Amino acid sequence: MAARRMARVSSVVALLALLVLTACSAAPQAIAPTEPPVQPPTVPAAAAPPTTVPAAPTEQTVSSEPILIGVSGPLTGQNAQYGAQWKKGFDLALDQINRDGGINGRPLQYLFEDTQSDPKQTVAVAQKFVNDPRIVIELGDFASPASMAASSIYERAGLVQFGFTNSHPDFTKGGEYMWSNSISQADNAPLLANYAVTDLGLRRLAVLHLNTDWGRTTTDLFVAAVKARGGEVVAVEGYLPEEKDFRSTLTRVRDANPDGLVLISYYADGALITQQVRTTGLTQPIVASGSIYSPKFLELAGEAANGVYTNTNFFPEEDREEVRTFVTAFKAKYGEEPDSFAAGAYDTMILVYHVIKQAGPDRKAIRDTLATIKGVPSVIYGTVQFDPATRRISGPRNINLVIKDGTYTVWDGTLPASQ
Protein backbone atom coordinates (compact mmCIF):
# COMPACT_ATOMS: atom_id res chain seq x y z
CA MET A 1 0.00 0.00 0.00
CA ALA A 2 2.73 2.38 1.06
CA ALA A 3 4.82 1.38 -1.92
CA ARG A 4 1.91 2.06 -4.23
CA ARG A 5 1.43 5.47 -2.72
CA MET A 6 5.12 6.20 -3.13
CA ALA A 7 4.89 5.13 -6.74
CA ARG A 8 1.96 7.50 -7.26
CA VAL A 9 3.74 10.39 -5.63
CA SER A 10 6.85 9.80 -7.64
CA SER A 11 4.83 9.61 -10.84
CA VAL A 12 3.34 13.02 -10.05
CA VAL A 13 6.80 14.39 -9.39
CA ALA A 14 8.04 12.94 -12.65
CA LEU A 15 5.10 14.43 -14.52
CA LEU A 16 5.73 17.84 -12.97
CA ALA A 17 9.37 17.67 -13.93
CA LEU A 18 8.38 16.78 -17.45
CA LEU A 19 5.99 19.72 -17.66
CA VAL A 20 8.66 22.09 -16.43
CA LEU A 21 11.11 20.69 -18.94
CA THR A 22 8.69 21.11 -21.82
CA ALA A 23 7.98 24.61 -20.62
CA CYS A 24 11.68 25.44 -20.62
CA SER A 25 12.42 23.89 -23.96
CA ALA A 26 9.56 25.84 -25.48
CA ALA A 27 11.06 29.10 -24.27
CA PRO A 28 12.48 30.49 -27.51
CA GLN A 29 9.06 30.24 -29.12
CA ALA A 30 7.71 32.87 -26.78
CA ILE A 31 9.28 35.54 -28.92
CA ALA A 32 6.68 36.47 -31.45
CA PRO A 33 7.73 35.10 -34.79
CA THR A 34 8.07 37.72 -37.42
CA GLU A 35 7.31 37.09 -41.01
CA PRO A 36 10.26 36.47 -43.26
CA PRO A 37 11.20 39.57 -45.23
CA VAL A 38 9.26 38.38 -48.26
CA GLN A 39 6.59 40.75 -49.37
CA PRO A 40 3.18 39.23 -48.72
CA PRO A 41 1.26 39.68 -51.96
CA THR A 42 -1.88 40.77 -50.15
CA VAL A 43 -0.40 43.91 -48.68
CA PRO A 44 -0.31 46.81 -51.08
CA ALA A 45 2.93 48.65 -51.65
CA ALA A 46 1.50 51.72 -49.95
CA ALA A 47 1.71 49.80 -46.70
CA ALA A 48 5.32 50.83 -46.22
CA PRO A 49 5.58 53.09 -43.21
CA PRO A 50 6.00 56.61 -44.51
CA THR A 51 9.44 57.98 -43.85
CA THR A 52 8.63 61.55 -42.97
CA VAL A 53 10.92 61.30 -39.99
CA PRO A 54 14.44 62.41 -40.79
CA ALA A 55 16.85 59.54 -40.47
CA ALA A 56 18.87 60.08 -37.36
CA PRO A 57 22.36 58.88 -36.64
CA THR A 58 22.20 55.41 -35.17
CA GLU A 59 24.71 52.79 -34.23
CA GLN A 60 26.42 51.49 -37.29
CA THR A 61 26.98 48.02 -35.88
CA VAL A 62 26.19 45.45 -38.49
CA SER A 63 24.16 43.01 -36.45
CA SER A 64 21.15 40.95 -37.27
CA GLU A 65 20.19 40.35 -33.64
CA PRO A 66 16.55 41.30 -33.23
CA ILE A 67 15.67 44.39 -31.22
CA LEU A 68 13.20 43.39 -28.53
CA ILE A 69 10.18 45.17 -27.13
CA GLY A 70 8.64 43.83 -23.94
CA VAL A 71 4.85 43.60 -23.88
CA SER A 72 3.06 43.04 -20.60
CA GLY A 73 -0.63 42.31 -21.11
CA PRO A 74 -3.54 39.90 -20.77
CA LEU A 75 -3.55 36.77 -22.94
CA THR A 76 -5.65 34.75 -20.49
CA GLY A 77 -8.25 35.74 -17.92
CA GLN A 78 -11.03 38.32 -17.96
CA ASN A 79 -9.34 40.77 -20.34
CA ALA A 80 -7.80 38.25 -22.72
CA GLN A 81 -9.77 39.59 -25.69
CA TYR A 82 -7.90 42.90 -25.56
CA GLY A 83 -4.53 41.16 -25.52
CA ALA A 84 -5.63 39.22 -28.60
CA GLN A 85 -6.45 42.50 -30.41
CA TRP A 86 -3.09 43.96 -29.42
CA LYS A 87 -1.29 41.02 -30.96
CA LYS A 88 -3.10 41.55 -34.25
CA GLY A 89 -2.14 45.22 -34.32
CA PHE A 90 1.48 44.54 -33.35
CA ASP A 91 1.96 41.71 -35.83
CA LEU A 92 0.60 43.76 -38.69
CA ALA A 93 2.89 46.68 -37.92
CA LEU A 94 5.90 44.39 -37.54
CA ASP A 95 5.17 42.67 -40.86
CA GLN A 96 5.50 46.01 -42.56
CA ILE A 97 8.47 47.23 -40.52
CA ASN A 98 10.52 44.07 -40.91
CA ARG A 99 9.68 43.70 -44.57
CA ASP A 100 11.34 47.05 -45.07
CA GLY A 101 14.46 45.88 -43.32
CA GLY A 102 13.59 46.49 -39.68
CA ILE A 103 15.85 48.93 -37.92
CA ASN A 104 19.10 49.18 -39.87
CA GLY A 105 18.80 45.57 -40.86
CA ARG A 106 17.90 44.34 -37.39
CA PRO A 107 14.38 42.91 -37.12
CA LEU A 108 12.07 44.42 -34.55
CA GLN A 109 10.31 41.83 -32.38
CA TYR A 110 8.24 41.73 -29.23
CA LEU A 111 8.17 39.44 -26.26
CA PHE A 112 4.58 39.16 -25.00
CA GLU A 113 4.34 38.11 -21.36
CA ASP A 114 0.86 37.20 -20.21
CA THR A 115 -0.05 38.91 -16.93
CA GLN A 116 -3.84 38.44 -16.93
CA SER A 117 -3.70 42.16 -16.07
CA ASP A 118 -3.02 41.08 -12.50
CA PRO A 119 -0.72 43.38 -10.49
CA LYS A 120 1.24 40.59 -8.79
CA GLN A 121 2.16 39.24 -12.20
CA THR A 122 2.93 42.61 -13.77
CA VAL A 123 5.51 43.39 -11.08
CA ALA A 124 7.23 40.06 -11.70
CA VAL A 125 7.16 40.62 -15.46
CA ALA A 126 8.51 44.13 -14.93
CA GLN A 127 11.53 42.68 -13.10
CA LYS A 128 12.00 40.20 -15.89
CA PHE A 129 11.97 42.92 -18.53
CA VAL A 130 14.25 45.38 -16.76
CA ASN A 131 16.79 42.58 -16.27
CA ASP A 132 16.73 41.53 -19.89
CA PRO A 133 19.29 43.72 -21.64
CA ARG A 134 17.77 42.91 -25.04
CA ILE A 135 14.58 44.79 -24.16
CA VAL A 136 14.70 48.47 -25.02
CA ILE A 137 11.14 49.61 -24.24
CA GLU A 138 8.08 48.11 -22.56
CA LEU A 139 4.44 48.36 -23.70
CA GLY A 140 1.40 47.92 -21.39
CA ASP A 141 -0.16 46.71 -19.17
CA PHE A 142 -3.87 46.87 -19.97
CA ALA A 143 -5.67 48.01 -16.80
CA SER A 144 -4.43 50.78 -14.52
CA PRO A 145 -4.09 48.83 -11.25
CA ALA A 146 -1.87 46.34 -13.05
CA SER A 147 0.18 48.93 -14.95
CA MET A 148 0.70 51.38 -12.13
CA ALA A 149 1.80 48.69 -9.67
CA ALA A 150 4.81 48.06 -11.93
CA SER A 151 5.63 51.71 -12.72
CA SER A 152 8.12 52.22 -9.91
CA ILE A 153 10.16 49.22 -11.07
CA TYR A 154 10.41 50.56 -14.63
CA GLU A 155 11.14 54.05 -13.39
CA ARG A 156 14.03 52.99 -11.18
CA ALA A 157 15.50 50.77 -13.88
CA GLY A 158 15.19 53.49 -16.49
CA LEU A 159 13.12 51.49 -18.96
CA VAL A 160 10.25 53.30 -20.66
CA GLN A 161 6.84 51.95 -19.66
CA PHE A 162 4.63 52.92 -22.54
CA GLY A 163 1.06 52.46 -21.37
CA PHE A 164 -0.85 52.76 -24.59
CA THR A 165 -4.24 51.97 -23.05
CA ASN A 166 -3.63 53.75 -19.74
CA SER A 167 -5.90 56.76 -19.60
CA HIS A 168 -5.74 57.01 -15.79
CA PRO A 169 -4.85 60.69 -15.24
CA ASP A 170 -2.05 59.74 -12.85
CA PHE A 171 -0.38 57.06 -14.95
CA THR A 172 2.27 59.29 -16.51
CA LYS A 173 2.81 61.02 -13.17
CA GLY A 174 4.49 57.78 -12.03
CA GLY A 175 7.84 59.08 -13.26
CA GLU A 176 10.00 60.31 -16.11
CA TYR A 177 9.82 56.94 -17.83
CA MET A 178 6.01 56.64 -17.92
CA TRP A 179 4.68 57.67 -21.33
CA SER A 180 1.35 57.16 -22.98
CA ASN A 181 -0.33 57.74 -26.30
CA SER A 182 -3.65 56.67 -24.86
CA ILE A 183 -6.19 59.29 -25.76
CA SER A 184 -6.54 61.66 -22.86
CA GLN A 185 -10.10 61.85 -21.63
CA ALA A 186 -9.53 65.56 -21.13
CA ASP A 187 -9.50 65.66 -24.95
CA ASN A 188 -12.23 63.17 -25.68
CA ALA A 189 -14.89 64.01 -23.11
CA PRO A 190 -15.46 67.59 -24.34
CA LEU A 191 -15.67 66.31 -27.93
CA LEU A 192 -18.39 63.89 -26.90
CA ALA A 193 -20.19 66.69 -25.03
CA ASN A 194 -19.94 68.83 -28.15
CA TYR A 195 -21.54 66.13 -30.25
CA ALA A 196 -24.36 65.45 -27.80
CA VAL A 197 -25.21 68.99 -26.70
CA THR A 198 -24.12 71.35 -29.42
CA ASP A 199 -24.45 69.19 -32.55
CA LEU A 200 -27.37 66.92 -31.67
CA GLY A 201 -29.12 69.48 -29.50
CA LEU A 202 -29.73 67.19 -26.53
CA ARG A 203 -30.09 69.33 -23.40
CA ARG A 204 -30.96 66.91 -20.62
CA LEU A 205 -28.60 63.95 -20.57
CA ALA A 206 -28.46 60.73 -18.57
CA VAL A 207 -25.01 59.17 -18.29
CA LEU A 208 -24.36 55.44 -17.82
CA HIS A 209 -20.71 54.71 -17.19
CA LEU A 210 -18.41 51.81 -16.42
CA ASN A 211 -17.50 52.21 -12.78
CA THR A 212 -13.76 51.93 -13.32
CA ASP A 213 -11.00 54.52 -13.13
CA TRP A 214 -11.41 55.17 -16.87
CA GLY A 215 -15.21 55.40 -16.80
CA ARG A 216 -15.25 57.60 -13.78
CA THR A 217 -12.59 60.03 -15.04
CA THR A 218 -14.35 60.34 -18.38
CA THR A 219 -17.71 60.89 -16.74
CA ASP A 220 -16.45 63.65 -14.46
CA LEU A 221 -14.87 65.47 -17.41
CA PHE A 222 -17.95 64.89 -19.55
CA VAL A 223 -20.37 66.26 -16.96
CA ALA A 224 -18.28 69.41 -16.61
CA ALA A 225 -18.13 69.81 -20.38
CA VAL A 226 -21.90 69.40 -20.73
CA LYS A 227 -22.51 72.12 -18.15
CA ALA A 228 -20.07 74.43 -19.92
CA ARG A 229 -22.15 74.01 -23.09
CA GLY A 230 -25.39 74.85 -21.35
CA GLY A 231 -26.64 71.29 -21.02
CA GLU A 232 -27.77 69.47 -17.93
CA VAL A 233 -26.91 66.00 -16.64
CA VAL A 234 -30.03 64.59 -15.00
CA ALA A 235 -28.76 61.15 -14.01
CA VAL A 236 -25.38 59.45 -13.57
CA GLU A 237 -25.33 55.69 -13.12
CA GLY A 238 -22.09 53.75 -12.64
CA TYR A 239 -22.19 50.02 -13.32
CA LEU A 240 -19.71 47.20 -12.68
CA PRO A 241 -17.87 45.71 -15.67
CA GLU A 242 -19.46 42.29 -15.06
CA GLU A 243 -23.02 43.67 -15.04
CA LYS A 244 -25.32 42.12 -17.65
CA ASP A 245 -28.80 43.29 -16.78
CA PHE A 246 -29.56 47.00 -17.12
CA ARG A 247 -33.34 47.06 -17.16
CA SER A 248 -33.69 48.44 -13.63
CA THR A 249 -31.03 51.04 -14.28
CA LEU A 250 -32.78 52.09 -17.45
CA THR A 251 -36.14 52.38 -15.71
CA ARG A 252 -34.45 54.65 -13.18
CA VAL A 253 -32.90 56.65 -15.99
CA ARG A 254 -36.28 56.97 -17.71
CA ASP A 255 -37.78 58.46 -14.57
CA ALA A 256 -35.20 61.24 -14.77
CA ASN A 257 -36.79 62.16 -18.10
CA PRO A 258 -33.66 62.83 -20.20
CA ASP A 259 -33.48 63.97 -23.85
CA GLY A 260 -30.74 61.50 -24.58
CA LEU A 261 -28.65 58.71 -23.08
CA VAL A 262 -24.87 58.84 -22.98
CA LEU A 263 -22.87 55.64 -22.66
CA ILE A 264 -19.32 55.72 -21.34
CA SER A 265 -18.78 52.05 -22.14
CA TYR A 266 -16.69 49.45 -23.92
CA TYR A 267 -18.24 47.58 -26.81
CA ALA A 268 -19.50 44.49 -24.98
CA ASP A 269 -21.32 46.30 -22.18
CA GLY A 270 -22.32 49.14 -24.50
CA ALA A 271 -24.04 46.59 -26.76
CA LEU A 272 -25.91 45.07 -23.82
CA ILE A 273 -27.22 48.45 -22.73
CA THR A 274 -28.19 49.47 -26.25
CA GLN A 275 -30.22 46.29 -26.65
CA GLN A 276 -32.02 46.71 -23.36
CA VAL A 277 -32.79 50.41 -23.86
CA ARG A 278 -35.42 49.62 -26.46
CA THR A 279 -36.99 46.70 -24.61
CA THR A 280 -37.39 48.90 -21.54
CA GLY A 281 -39.49 51.29 -23.56
CA LEU A 282 -37.05 54.18 -23.86
CA THR A 283 -37.05 55.99 -27.20
CA GLN A 284 -34.39 58.63 -26.56
CA PRO A 285 -31.33 58.75 -28.81
CA ILE A 286 -28.14 57.11 -27.55
CA VAL A 287 -24.76 58.80 -27.78
CA ALA A 288 -21.82 56.54 -26.93
CA SER A 289 -18.16 57.26 -26.28
CA GLY A 290 -15.76 56.22 -29.04
CA SER A 291 -14.56 53.24 -27.01
CA ILE A 292 -17.58 51.26 -28.26
CA TYR A 293 -16.22 51.58 -31.78
CA SER A 294 -15.78 47.96 -32.88
CA PRO A 295 -17.40 45.65 -35.43
CA LYS A 296 -18.25 43.54 -32.38
CA PHE A 297 -20.57 46.28 -31.14
CA LEU A 298 -22.70 45.90 -34.26
CA GLU A 299 -22.70 42.13 -33.93
CA LEU A 300 -23.59 42.08 -30.24
CA ALA A 301 -26.19 44.86 -30.28
CA GLY A 302 -27.85 43.60 -33.48
CA GLU A 303 -30.81 45.65 -34.74
CA ALA A 304 -30.74 47.91 -31.70
CA ALA A 305 -27.41 49.39 -32.79
CA ASN A 306 -29.09 51.38 -35.54
CA GLY A 307 -29.36 55.05 -34.69
CA VAL A 308 -26.59 55.04 -32.06
CA TYR A 309 -24.37 58.12 -32.28
CA THR A 310 -20.71 57.91 -31.44
CA ASN A 311 -17.61 59.91 -32.10
CA THR A 312 -14.39 58.10 -32.64
CA ASN A 313 -10.72 58.78 -32.99
CA PHE A 314 -10.33 55.97 -35.44
CA PHE A 315 -12.65 55.41 -38.40
CA PRO A 316 -11.58 52.85 -41.00
CA GLU A 317 -13.24 54.73 -43.84
CA GLU A 318 -11.53 58.00 -43.13
CA ASP A 319 -9.76 59.14 -46.26
CA ARG A 320 -6.21 59.46 -45.00
CA GLU A 321 -3.21 57.50 -46.14
CA GLU A 322 -2.29 56.09 -42.71
CA VAL A 323 -5.84 54.86 -42.17
CA ARG A 324 -6.19 53.37 -45.64
CA THR A 325 -2.86 51.58 -45.32
CA PHE A 326 -3.71 50.15 -41.94
CA VAL A 327 -7.25 49.08 -42.74
CA THR A 328 -6.45 47.44 -46.08
CA ALA A 329 -3.55 45.50 -44.61
CA PHE A 330 -5.54 44.50 -41.55
CA LYS A 331 -8.45 43.17 -43.58
CA ALA A 332 -6.08 41.31 -45.88
CA LYS A 333 -4.23 39.65 -43.01
CA TYR A 334 -7.10 38.81 -40.67
CA GLY A 335 -10.22 38.93 -42.85
CA GLU A 336 -12.04 41.24 -40.43
CA GLU A 337 -12.47 44.92 -39.61
CA PRO A 338 -10.03 46.34 -37.08
CA ASP A 339 -11.34 47.89 -33.86
CA SER A 340 -9.92 50.77 -31.88
CA PHE A 341 -7.81 48.49 -29.65
CA ALA A 342 -6.08 46.95 -32.65
CA ALA A 343 -5.64 50.42 -34.16
CA GLY A 344 -4.07 51.64 -30.93
CA ALA A 345 -1.67 48.68 -30.85
CA TYR A 346 -0.70 49.19 -34.49
CA ASP A 347 -0.17 52.90 -34.00
CA THR A 348 1.97 52.27 -30.97
CA MET A 349 4.22 49.79 -32.73
CA ILE A 350 4.75 52.18 -35.65
CA LEU A 351 5.58 54.95 -33.18
CA VAL A 352 8.01 52.72 -31.29
CA TYR A 353 9.67 51.85 -34.58
CA HIS A 354 10.26 55.49 -35.44
CA VAL A 355 11.52 56.24 -31.96
CA ILE A 356 14.00 53.37 -31.91
CA LYS A 357 15.09 54.16 -35.45
CA GLN A 358 15.94 57.66 -34.36
CA ALA A 359 17.32 56.89 -30.91
CA GLY A 360 19.02 53.58 -31.48
CA PRO A 361 18.40 50.57 -29.25
CA ASP A 362 19.22 52.39 -26.03
CA ARG A 363 16.78 52.74 -23.14
CA LYS A 364 17.79 56.24 -22.09
CA ALA A 365 18.01 57.56 -25.63
CA ILE A 366 14.54 56.18 -26.34
CA ARG A 367 13.11 58.11 -23.40
CA ASP A 368 14.79 61.31 -24.55
CA THR A 369 13.66 60.82 -28.13
CA LEU A 370 10.04 60.38 -27.05
CA ALA A 371 10.21 63.93 -25.72
CA THR A 372 11.45 65.39 -28.98
CA ILE A 373 10.07 63.22 -31.76
CA LYS A 374 7.77 64.95 -34.21
CA GLY A 375 5.64 64.12 -37.19
CA VAL A 376 5.31 60.35 -36.80
CA PRO A 377 2.30 59.28 -38.87
CA SER A 378 -0.55 57.93 -36.79
CA VAL A 379 -3.92 56.40 -37.45
CA ILE A 380 -5.42 58.00 -34.37
CA TYR A 381 -3.65 61.35 -34.14
CA GLY A 382 -2.72 62.16 -37.72
CA THR A 383 0.78 62.93 -36.56
CA VAL A 384 2.30 62.35 -33.17
CA GLN A 385 4.08 64.74 -30.89
CA PHE A 386 4.33 64.40 -27.12
CA ASP A 387 4.00 67.14 -24.57
CA PRO A 388 7.23 66.55 -22.59
CA ALA A 389 5.61 67.91 -19.41
CA THR A 390 2.65 65.50 -19.32
CA ARG A 391 4.30 62.78 -21.43
CA ARG A 392 1.05 62.44 -23.33
CA ILE A 393 -0.24 63.37 -26.77
CA SER A 394 -3.15 65.68 -27.33
CA GLY A 395 -5.40 66.44 -30.27
CA PRO A 396 -6.69 63.06 -31.47
CA ARG A 397 -8.71 62.88 -34.67
CA ASN A 398 -12.41 63.15 -34.08
CA ILE A 399 -15.17 62.03 -36.39
CA ASN A 400 -18.86 62.07 -35.59
CA LEU A 401 -20.57 58.86 -36.62
CA VAL A 402 -24.02 57.37 -36.59
CA ILE A 403 -24.91 53.72 -37.10
CA LYS A 404 -27.22 53.18 -40.06
CA ASP A 405 -28.39 49.79 -41.36
CA GLY A 406 -25.79 48.01 -39.28
CA THR A 407 -22.79 50.04 -40.41
CA TYR A 408 -20.92 53.03 -39.06
CA THR A 409 -21.46 56.07 -41.26
CA VAL A 410 -20.26 59.64 -40.99
CA TRP A 411 -22.96 61.78 -39.36
CA ASP A 412 -24.54 64.00 -42.00
CA GLY A 413 -26.02 66.59 -39.65
CA THR A 414 -29.49 65.05 -39.36
CA LEU A 415 -30.95 65.68 -35.91
CA PRO A 416 -32.48 62.80 -33.95
CA ALA A 417 -36.15 62.50 -34.83
CA SER A 418 -37.61 60.56 -31.94
CA GLN A 419 -38.17 63.46 -29.54
Partner 1 sequence: MTSWLDHTVNGLIIGNIYALIAVGLALIFGVSNLINFAHGSVYMIGAYTGWVCVAAIGTPLPLTLLGVVVGCAALGILIERFGLRPLQGAPRIAPLLATIGIGLVLEQIAQLIFSPDPRALPSQLPAWRLPLGSGSIGALDLFIAAVGVVSTAVLYGFLRFTHLGWAVRATAQDRDAALQMGIDVHRVNQVVFAIASALGGLSGVLVGMYFNNIFPAMGFQATLKGFVAELIGGVGSVPGAVAGSLLLGLIESYGVALLGTSYRNLFAFLILIAVLVWRPNGIFSSTRQVPPEPLTGTFIAPSKPVHVPRWAYAAATAIFLALPLIWRDSYIIQTLTNAWLYGMLALSLTLVAGTTGQMSLGHAGLLAIGGYASALLALDLGVPVPLALLLAGFITAALGTLLIFPAFRLRGHYVAIATLAIGEIVGLVILNWEGLTRGPIGVVGIPPLEFFGLPLYDTSALYWVSFTIMVLLALLQWRLTQYHLGRALRAIREDDVAARAFGISLNRYKGLAFAFSGFVAGLSGAITAHMYSYINHETFNTQISLLALTMIILGGMGNIFGAIVGAVALIGLPEMFRAVAEYRILLYGIVLLLLVRFRPQGLMGTV
Q: Please give the residues from 219 up to 238 whose contact with partner 1 meets the rule CB under 8 A.
A: 237-238
Partner residues linked to 67 by β-bridges: 108
The HSE-up count of residue 39 (CA atoms within 13 Å, CB side) is 9
Q: How far apart are the first and last CA of the chain?
A: 80
Name the minimum Å distance from CB 221 to partner 1.
12
Contacts (Cβ under 8 Å, ≥6 apart) of 82: 73, 74, 142, 165, 341
Note whether 283 binds partner 1 by CB under 8 A: no
Question: Toward partner 1, which CB reaches closer, 245 or 317?
Answer: 245
| Residue 26 or 38 having the CB closest to partner 1 | 26
Site string for partner 1, 125-144 (x = CB under 8 A): -xxx-xx-----------xx
SS3 for 165-234 is CCCCCCHHHHCCCEECCCCCHHHHHHHHHHHHHHHCCCCEEEEEEECCHHHHHHHHHHHHHHHHCCCEEE
Q: Which of 249, 289, 340, 400 binds partner 1 (CB under 8 A)?
A: 249
**Which amino acid, residue 133?**
P
Q: Would you say 113 or 138 has its CB closer to partner 1?
A: 113
Instruction: Name the residue among 195, 184, 185, 183 with its Cα closest to residue 310.
Output: 195
Distance CA 106, CA 108 (A): 6
Spatial separation of the C-alpha atoms in residues 88 and 95, rounded to whole Å = 11
Binding mask 162-201 vs partner 1 (x if CB under 8 A, - otherwise)?
------x-x--xx---------------------------
In whole angstroms, how close is the CB of 239 to partner 1 at the nearest point?
A: 5
Binding residue (CB under 8 A) for partner 1 from 99, 106, 254, 392:
254
Interface pick for partner 1 out of 11, 52, 63, 418 (rule CB under 8 A): 11
Site for partner 1 in 95-114 (CB under 8 A): 112-114
Closest approach of partner 1 to the CB of residue 231, in Å: 21
Of 321, 303, 293, the closest CA to residue 378 belongs to 321
Member of 92, 221, 271, 345 binding partner 1 (CB under 8 A): 271
Q: CB 78 → partner 1: shortest distance, Å? A: 5
C-beta closer to partner 1: residue 11 or 42: 11
Question: According to CB under 8 A, which residues from 354 to 413 bind partner 1?
Answer: none
- CA–CA gap between residue 180 and residue 391 (Å, rounded): 7
In angstroms, give the least distance from the CB of 170 to partner 1: 4
Phi and psi angles of residue 416, each rounded to the nearest 5 degrees, phi first: -60, 140
Residue 162 or 246 having the CB closest to partner 1:
246
Shortest Cβ 352–partner 1 spacing (Å): 21
Nearer to partner 1, 178 or 196 (CB): 178
Work out which of 216, 320, 324, 331 binds partner 1, going by CB under 8 A: 216
**What's the min distance (Å) between Cβ of 104 and partner 1?**
29
Does residue 243 belong to the site contacting partner 1 (CB under 8 A)?
yes
Q: How many residues bind partner 1 (CB under 8 A)?
A: 86
Strand partners, 401: 310, 410
Residue 264's DSSP bridge partners are 209
Q: Which is nearer to partner 1, 212 or 369 (CB)?
A: 212
Nearer to partner 1, 47 or 286 (CB): 286
CB 294 to partner 1: min, Å: 10
- Asked if 256 interacts with partner 1 (CB under 8 A), we say no
- Stretch in the footprint of partner 1 (CB under 8 A) among 19-27, 59-67, 226-234, 362-370: 19-27
Whether the Cβ atoms of residue 327 and residue 157 lie closer than 8 Å to each other? no
Q: How far apart are CA 398 and CA 224, in angstroms?
A: 19
120 scored as a contact of partner 1 (CB under 8 A): yes
Contacts (CB under 8 A) with partner 1, residues 298-337:
299-302
As measured in angstroms, the least distance from the Cβ of 93 to partner 1 is: 19
